[in-house]
Amino acid sequence: MVFPYFTDPALIVKWIGDRAELDPQPGGVFSLDMGEVVAHGAYITVEPPYRVVFSWGIPGSDALPPGGSTVEVVLTPDGDDTMVVLTHRGLPSTHIGNHRAGWEHQLGRLRVAAG
């Protein structure tokens, strides 16, 4: 099951980040320490096992403050596998390329971790 890899601190750090503080309920904390970068936000929607939405931003960033964008993850069963569709909305145009590359890399790591 892939859903817990977005809601369980012990599992999320297996594919993205070094430390996480997660409270997977609407309004609950979403905080992910990824070495030099920390993302802060809050869970908006938690619908196990198919969908999770959380806000995302970087402390100290004027362009992308904590909670300044939204990440939606939709999980669809596909035989023995799960299709993961991640949509990151509200990013400033100067951040789109780096976030796209970052998510593509990390989702590759999720494929291995959740394997």
State how far the alpha carbon of 21 is from the alpha carbons of 47, 91, 104, in Å: 19, 22, 22
Domain that holds residue 56: 3-114
- The CATH number that applies at residue 98 is 3.30.530.20
Which pLDDT does position 102 carry in this prediction? 94
The answer to whether residue 115 scores a pLDDT higher than 90 is no
pLDDT bucket at 87, cuts 50 / 70 / 90: very high
pLDDT in tens, 29-73: 999 999 888 999 999 999 999 999 999 999 999 999 999 999 999
This prediction has a pTM of: 0.94
Give the number of domains in the chain. Answer: 1
- Report which secondary-structure segment, H or E, holds 85: strand 81-89
Q: What is the mean pLDDT of the chain?
A: 96
pLDDT at residue number 30: 97
State the burial class of residue 71 (Cβ atoms within 10 Å of its Cβ: 0-12, 13-18, 19+). Answer: buried
